[in-house]
A and B are shown apart, each in its own frame.
Chain A
Amino acid sequence: MDAKLNELAKNFGRFKTAFIHNDFDTSANLLSDLKVMLTELSSLPPLYQDTPNAAKELEIARDIYEHAAILSVKIEDQDAFERDFFQLKHYYTDVRNRLPSSRHEYPILGLNLLRLLVQNRIAEFHTELELLSSTALEKPCIKHAVGLEQSLMEGAYNWVLHITLHARQTVPHESYVYFMDLLAKTVRDEIAGCSEKAYPYLSNKDAQRMLLFPYEHELLAYINEDHPEWEVKNGGVYFQEVEETVRCKEIPSLQLINQTLSYARELERIV
């Protein structure tokens, strides 16, 4: 083992202690140092040089990024999670057969799927899903996310909200909680979007029931925050009328006439 790796392992140890003690600031600082140190190792992606310590280095790097991903969930930073996950992904795909499998792999993949759900990036969600092997799909962490997505697509918002709000104990991993909270809001946004199209207005009560808010003031707060364009009056919520898009466009008659005339002229000129 060379000095760099030693140094790295030592720092990683310090990071882990801080991490376990939930000392997030210290661990974040240590983590960014670690990442910089990782850039000096040539066996890591994207270079993948075949150095003698490659396997060890890869393993420790994967470990670091896994911790980084979990840490970012803990400090509730979606962007950081996304970054860390993308960097981590190399270890799950490119060098899969060179490393022993990690116990964090499926939870983190599941977390990523959840994140995509929360951010309502359904296309990417499916892309990710396609890349997973059939064994991975069997894992509870993945199944959980897939189930949620299906319910969302079916429009079973009630069911989703029920899970997110009331069935917290069923989550397969403790770090999922953060995303479950966020998911509730995503679902509400969806419902709000649909209601907007479907109704000219809703009574407060209906709206509250529709959006599954336990209390009316929560509804009002939500409207204030996310949909300031809605009007709340007469005990009802009035949606902004969506402007009807013009169905059939005017026939571009002038343009067509001009075109035909020019064809005729060109025909005259054909040599």
Chain B
Amino acid sequence: MATLVSSAGGLLAMLNESRPELKLYALSNLNKLVDGFWPEISTSVPIIESLYEDEEFGQHQRQLAALLVSKVFYYLGELNDSLSYALGAGSLFDVSEDSYYIHTLLAKAIDEYASLKSKAAESNADAANVDPRLEAIVERMLNKCILDGKYQQAMGIAIECRRLDKLEEAIIKSDNVQGTLSYCINVSHSYVNLREYRREVLRLLVRVYQKLPSPDYLSICQCLMFLDEPEGVASILEKLLRSENKDDELLAYQIAFDLVENEHQAFLLNVRNRLSAPKAQPSEPVQPESSEVAQNEGSAPGDVQMTDGSSTTNVTVLEDPSEVMYSERLTKIKGILSGETSIKLTLQFLYSHNKSDLLILKTIKQSVEMRNSVCHSATIYANAIMHAGTTVDTFLRENLDWLSRATNWAKFSATAGLGVIHRGHLQQGRSLMAPYLPQGGAGGGGSPYSEGGALYALGLIHANHGEGIKQFLRDSLRSTNVEVIQHGACLGLGLSALGTADEEIYDDIKSVLYTDSAVAGEAAGISMGLLMVGTASEKASEMLTYAHETQHEKIIRGLALGIALTVYGREEEADTLIEQMTRDQDPILRYGGMYALALAYSGTANNKAIRQLLHFAVSDVSDDVRRTAVLALGFVLYSEPEQTPRIVSLLSESYNPHVRYGAALAVGISCAGTGLSEAISLLEPLTSDVVDFVRQGALIAMAMVMVQISEASDSRVGAFRRQLEKIILDKHEDTMSKMGAILASGILDAGGRNVTIRLLSKTKHDKVTAVVGLAVFSQFWYWYPLIYFLSLAFSPTALIGLNNDLKVPKFEFLSHAKPSLFEYPKPTTVATTTSAVKLPTAVLSTSAKATKARAKKEAADQKANPEKSAETSGKGKSSSEKDGDSMQVDSSTEKKPEPEPSFEILTNPARVVPAQEEYIKFLEESRYVPVKLAPSGFVLLRDLRPTEPEVLSLTDTPSSTASPAGGSATGQPGSASAMAVDEEPQPPQPFEYTV
């Protein structure tokens, strides 16, 4: 049996011996024993320290002493001392050793180094004051990580420590450079908090990317977009367009679509203008001009452009084939970059796939009291949101009588609602709105409310793509003195010129502001903000001054929001302004300060911003400010939706209803469209809160979270729909919550059930328009017409494949999940409420038998694949409900328990909801191969058999709304004939694929 040492006393005593050999012996042995005997050694630390400081002692011995002391301090929990001695230990501190001591101290060292480096970077001082020994340790660690192949770790450390040289080294040395780079981009977006530094990292990445033999242009362009370097993007696009290779052309289009998705209008404009015109062609310089002109006229620019392009090719066909090809392609890419192509395709998709359920609206309409104007206009809002972008205005047309009850501002929003419904209808937007528009200053018979609403509607139609409509809106603004029309025109201008920082428009709006009319001034304030989104221009201080001068609360509020909008995404650059606003005497400006915090740090999950907001949420004296502070958390956190429910969970139990309301909306904003279980659990109790407006907020937030979540994936969606129906039908319910329920029904089925609320693009960039839209939307507390801004946050959930003519070919792909998980909700039936009551009693002997048989079968199923049992049982429940509905067709129920197929073939263009994206697979033997393996959005397809004739599946003029038969249940004949005008009653389809 080995003898164990019982005490380190002997060795410690030996340290006092006079002979250095003995001291060394003691030190090295103590170093081995320190893990067990540190309590004993700790009393002798001064002796060991003195050995370390003893100049006569050899270098090695001194380092050994330092290491020993460092370890003792580590065990004592004095990490700072431990680290400083570990530095003294030099090379004896072995970074590759696998012990808690080393791990802890390394982490500590890296932290220390990182904080020193970032401090040095902030104060612009040299890194000279960093301990070289510390640097050496970190470098050793980095080198070791690189050697061991732990590149991600090395990159993380390098980024954290601001060692871009090491970062580059790690990326280049890694075995999968592409993968590492994309990882690095992700990291820099999610973990690098300082905007400036993030730019540096991205610049480095672009440099590395460009060095690669086969650069990933998609990623480079994303980086360049973040860096705001349109020249780089333009030159890449040009290079690709000039290439002989068809694939490069497709890639260029794909890049353009991806850029458009990020909605950075000013940047896209810059790229477009920098694309050089084809050389040596006399007619060419005119070409881009003409398209501009066409857009300015606002009538069918797409078509004009097309003909333009073809005419130029006809003229110049003899000159230089490559230039001809280039000019053709240039036309296309300009179309894409202007956003017109994608808007057109989206519009077609939303129109052809519209699945909105008019019966819901009808139920709402019937249950709402005539005299209650709030609910009346809420129904109009709900209709607009439900049909956003689908151009289906059937409901309005059928109920003109009912609609005419809207007066004054209700009329304004009813008219503006058309803008939401026709959103993106760039070609015909103006002609659609023509009957309502002001008649050339002549002051025709139209009410100013509908005229103002129409101008607002034009802005909504052209939101962020207002090239063609700006001039008209400006003229309308100038030629009127009516404040309602000014209100509409200001909002419209702000929307259409979003983020362009156009000086002339700004001046026009400013002159409206200075008339000091409350109604017009409020819109002017918001509009100025919209115009200047993210520019951090000095205009903000001008606006702030005016906000202090004016007496009107409305104007102050509008300006406060406007100022907040100007600092969108500027992060720490905005700190001075935020400080100024949050310390203001006026609660409305502090309220604006909350928005400024929310928008400046939107999607960054920045800890400082969160801390500040939480502080205001609990300490401000004004309820408005507190509510907004909580709500603002939703904006800061939308990039990490999982965090929000946890952070606001306490606030959602606050005694203060305003704070509860804010918490509900914060969850709604940040978790929008995710269907996150925690978010739903948090909101559920709030939907039956004692205070009416909290219920309103919670219902709206819940609808935002549950957009496009099917009942099969979360049963609470169904429960929520029933709850909404109950609230709407309940005569005794408060108006506020009733309004919330009506709006929630609209949001839940937004855009014909084909859109979701998305604040991040697929490449994790913020979508400016969407964030701004939601920010202004959350103002509906004060001003209902602003509800329409929600439509800016809608993004279609579709996969649209395009060939190189930017047409939609017939193309099939696979969704490797049960169809029921992602199908459209079943259309409601007239009898839903009664049948739900009948269900338990009506058990016929036949259906009982059938149930038994099904249960048996299901049990067998569950045994066969237990992991899917949950889904199967959910399915079983829903189908049994169906039994109750249609008991007379017993034969069909017999068929139902067939096992559901585990996949589904989708046809281009198809609805792909966000949760479904991970299941999307492209078929291998397909004719088309996607350029980029993206599960949704616009995907360019490479044609492997270009000689065969192509079948296009989405034509420019969809003939009828008859939708392709999806996996969803059939529309009930009764509802279909009554509601959908141009939808043929479809025969009951076979419910499942029979094997």
Contacts and interface: CB of A to CB of B under 8 A. Distances in A.
Contacts of A46: 5, 8, 10-11, 29, 32-33
Interface residues on B, range: 20 to 34
A218 to B, nearest CB: 34
A10 interface: no
A36 B19 contact: yes
Interface in B1-57: 2-14, 16-19, 21-22, 25, 29, 32-33
Interface string B604-631: 0000000000000111000000000000
A93 B6 contact: yes
B310 interface: no
Interface in A78-96: 79, 82-90, 93-95
B619 A269 contact: yes
A39 B659 contact: no
B617 A271 contact: yes
Nearest to B626: A271
A271 B5 contact: no
B833 interface: no
Contact of A271 (B16, B22, B32, B656): B656
Interface stretch (B535-543, B647-655, B760-768, B779-787): B647-655
Given A48-B4, A271-B656, A35 B17 contact: yes
Given A46-B29, A271-B651, A98 B10 contact: no
A48 B2 contact: yes
B3 A89 contact: no
B3 A94 contact: yes
Contacts of B651: 271
A39 B24 CA distance: 10
Contact of B17 (A32, A94, A270): A32
A47 interface: yes
B9 A89 contact: yes
B112 to A, nearest CB: 34
B10 A32 contact: no
Contacts of B4: 48, 94
Contacts of B19: 32, 35-36
A130 interface: no
A94 B5 CA distance: 6
Given A47-B29, A48-B4, A50-B2, A86 B9 contact: yes
Contacts of B3: 48, 94-95, 98
A39 to B, nearest CB: 4
A171 B21 CA distance: 38
Contacts of B9: 86, 89
Contacts of B29: 46-47
A140 interface: no
A45 interface: yes
Contacts of B655: 270-271
Contacts of B650: 271
A138 B875 CA distance: 86
Contacts of A271: 617-618, 650-651, 654-656, 659
B5 A87 contact: no
Interface residues on A, range: 20 to 34
B6 A87 contact: no
Contacts of A98: 3
Nearest to A96: B3
Contact of B22 (A39, A45, A82, A94): A39
Contacts of B659: 271
A36 B10 contact: no
A241 B364 CA distance: 95
Contact of B16 (A83, A93, A269): A83
Contact of B10 (A48, A89, A95): A89
Nearest to A86: B13
B25 A39 contact: yes
A133 to B, nearest CB: 15
Contacts of B656: 271
Contacts of A32: 17-19, 22
Given A35-B19, A36-B19, A90 B10 contact: yes
Given A94-B6, A98-B3, A83 B14 contact: yes
B14 A90 contact: no
Nearest to A265: B619
A259 B767 CA distance: 47
Interface in B289-345: none
Nearest to B660: A271
Nearest to B655: A271
A32 B23 CA distance: 12
A89 B11 CA distance: 11
A83 B5 contact: no
Nearest to A47: B29
Interface in A23-54: 32, 35-36, 39, 45-48, 50
A79 B16 contact: yes
Nearest to B651: A271
B654 A90 contact: no
B618 A269 contact: yes
A82 B3 CA distance: 24
Contact of B5 (A36, A45, A270): A45
B18 A83 contact: no
Contacts of B617: 271
A88 B655 CA distance: 71
Interface centre among B7, B9, B10, B651 (most CB of A within 10 A): B10
A45 B21 contact: no
Contacts of A45: 5, 10
Contacts of A269: 618-619
Given A46-B33, A269-B618, A90 B16 contact: no
Contacts of A39: 21-22, 25
A95 B3 CA distance: 7
A45 B21 CA distance: 16
Interface centre among B6, B12, B650, B659 (most CB of A within 10 A): B6
Contacts of B6: 90, 93-94
A39 B8 CA distance: 15
Interface in B466-514: none
A94 B619 CA distance: 64
A86 B21 contact: no
Interface centre among B3, B619, B650, B654 (most CB of A within 10 A): B3
Contacts of B12: 86
B7 A83 contact: no
A35 B22 contact: yes
Contacts of A86: 7, 9-10, 12-13
Contacts of A50: 2
Contact of B13 (A48, A82, A93): A82
A89 B7 contact: yes
A90 B6 CA distance: 8
B321 to A, nearest CB: 71
Interface string A36-77: 100100000111101000000000000000000000000000
5 contacts: A32-B22, A46-B29, A83-B16, A269-B618, A269-B619
Interface of B: 2-14, 16-19, 21-22, 25, 29, 32-33, 617-619, 650-651, 654-656, 659
Interface of A: 32, 35-36, 39, 45-48, 50, 79, 82-90, 93-95, 98, 269-271
Given A36-B21, A46-B8, A46-B32, 19 more contacts: A32-B17, A32-B18, A32-B19, A32-B22, A39-B22, A46-B33, A48-B2, A82-B13, A83-B13, A86-B7, A86-B10, A86-B12, A87-B10, A90-B5, A94-B4, A95-B3, A269-B618, A271-B650, A271-B655
For the complex of A and B, the 8 pairs showing the least CB-CB separation, nearest first, are A86-B13, A83-B13, A271-B654, A39-B25, A87-B10, A48-B3, A86-B9, A46-B5
